[in-house]
Chains A and B, each alone.
Chain A
Amino acid sequence: MNWHAVKVIYINEMMRTFRTLAQSVASPVISTSLYFVVFGSAIGSRIESIDGVSYGAFLVPGLMMLSLLTQSISNASFGIYFPKFIGTIYEILSAPISHFEILLGYVGAAATKSLIIGTIILITASFFVELRIAHPVWMVSFFVLTCVTFSLLGFIIGIWADNFEKLQLVPLLVITPLVFLGGSFYSIDMLPPAWQTVSLFNPVLYLISGFRWSFFEISDVSVGWSLIAVIAFLLACLSVVGWMFKTGYKLKN
């Protein structure tokens, strides 16, 4: 293992975050606070509690997931796309470093950022609503697995994208709708039966449901299914990355 390389990539990526602190950390905190003010306090005060959980508290896992997904994808995709764009990727590709180590550096850093942002949101949320976490181990597991999985997805998008438009395409057109329709702001019980069935095909629903269960023990689908969904998605991303590295897809051809 070339640990020195993993370390410098990781540190370099983290430095980039600190250089753009306002953009990387402050913006998710501000947008989350706005969600709380608008949905939690203004509108939420007129919504009954859901399965005994106040609407403000109910929102927290959904909002965290919303940020984790978008942040993981944007951080990881930008992290690998940017060296490709400016050409410094030559150095990574010519270094004595395995694909796994490249992945560890970039995805590790992106996932770490998401974990930091998620934690900040959780702390911010605790100022607005009373939080309890029923299953901390499950909560942390979903938290970490989501960050890693979606950072992997971001990495894939970053390699696939050959312009800035493509870089934005998936987060904007796929991920954001899936998160909004995946029960981040509501329980699917509130939907008409037909839409409930449709929602079950949304993979993000399983993530949010499992994550919310670890807080309040309420869920749209059973937690086992949630776990299977996250792991299946993780494995899918890993195999795509593996294939990309093996064929040199858009990197070495």
Chain B
Amino acid sequence: MSTILSVENLTKRYASGHEALKNINLEIEEGEILALLGPNGAGKTTLISIICGIVNASEGRVIVAGHDNVTAFRKTRSLIGLVPQELTLGSFDRVSDTVSFSRGLFGRGRDDAWVEQLLKDLSLWDKRDSEIMTLSGGMKRRVLIAKALAHKPRVLFLDEPTAGVDVELRKDMWEIVSKLREDGVTIILTTHYIEEAEAIADRVGVISKGELLLVENKASLMQKLGTKQLIVELRTAANALPPALSEFDLELSADGQHITYTYDVRAERTGITSLLQSLQQAGLELRDLQTRQSSLEEIFVNLVNEQ
């Protein structure tokens, strides 16, 4: 795979002195799905806006398919599609008109067949002659996606694509994304929903306070940073934890059947061996053992809090 987008030492400083982005470096491979996670005001939208040319950077540069996004903006922008966070659409425009408008804006001639296919893929074909203001929020979101895809971009930015969208539509959105990936489109999405990143992303980047804390393969991120839990099921319920086990970080369930041990997989020693020995010495009989990986959400919360 080759790099389709690289962000080099990108900084955005506002006139007020506020630094929205601090020296961001990021490389994105062609065809991957990258999820950018971060709390509100972390700089996700600013980063996307700079890459797309909506906001000027203070320092650093952005290279798309080998072209600088300032000096060769025509080349880079025609490769990129953007679905903004807000439902920004002209209320009086008709669906097919606004999609054709976007296509023209990105330098492509009229192509009714493509627009038709796009609207059908996004379940908008029945609404092609409707005015935007008559559509529901979910439909408007689809129109924004159709607009972003009208010129067949190779890189698609989805800024909070499922914010304020119901569960069903969110599933549809994920399907749309995976279909786009099959077509070879590189996708960068920002999201609040960690399960979303977990479900569809190949890599996850975490942004907080203008800094890119990390970008990792999703699986290795969870493995590398996650805490794990060992859940021990006892043959007979215990009333309290034996004093001999006080050195471990343990939790006894209300019914006394389960003991939960939380450990850090990054640590040199996980302490599992000595725990099991101690359990045996304390005379507790084990019925079953189970381990649980922490979710991306827990990883994320830990990272942002650490900062």
Contacts and interface: CB of A to CB of B under 8 A. Distances in A.
Residue among A5, A19, A83, A95 with most chain B CB within 10 A:
A95
Contact of B77 (A19, A83, A88, A94): A94
A4 B100 CA distance: 11
A96 B75 contact: yes
A83 to B, nearest CB: 8
Given A12-B101, A19-B92, A253-B14, A90 B107 contact: no
B107 A252 contact: no
B178 interface: no
A252 B56 CA distance: 6
A96 B107 CA distance: 7
Contacts of A97: 105, 107
Interface in B78-92: 78, 80, 82, 84, 86, 88-92
Contact of B82 (A2, A7, A94): A94
Interface residues of B, number: 34
A4 B101 contact: no
Given A19-B92, A87-B88, A88-B90, A94 B52 contact: yes
A102 to B, nearest CB: 10
Given A86-B90, A253-B14, A94 B107 contact: no
A165 interface: no
Interface in A2-19: 2, 4-5, 7-9, 12, 19
B267 interface: no
Interface string B94-107: 00000011111111
A169 interface: no
A4 B107 contact: yes
Interface string B177-199: 00000000000000000000000
A52 interface: no
Contact of A95 (B49, B56, B90, B105): B105
A8 B98 CA distance: 10
Contacts of B109: 4
B88 A90 contact: yes
A4 B54 CA distance: 20
Contacts of A98: 74
11 contacts: A2-B74, A83-B90, A86-B89, A91-B105, A93-B52, A93-B54, A94-B54, A95-B105, A96-B73, A252-B54, A252-B56
Interface of A: 2, 4-5, 7-9, 12, 19, 83, 86-88, 90-98, 248, 252-253
Given A5-B105, A5-B106, A95-B106, 19 more contacts: A2-B74, A4-B105, A4-B106, A4-B108, A5-B107, A7-B104, A8-B100, A90-B49, A90-B82, A91-B147, A93-B52, A93-B54, A94-B54, A94-B77, A96-B73, A96-B76, A96-B106, A97-B105, A253-B55
User: Ordered nearest first, which 8 A-B pairs have the shortest CB separation?
Assistant: A8-B104, A87-B88, A96-B77, A96-B74, A94-B52, A95-B105, A96-B78, A4-B104
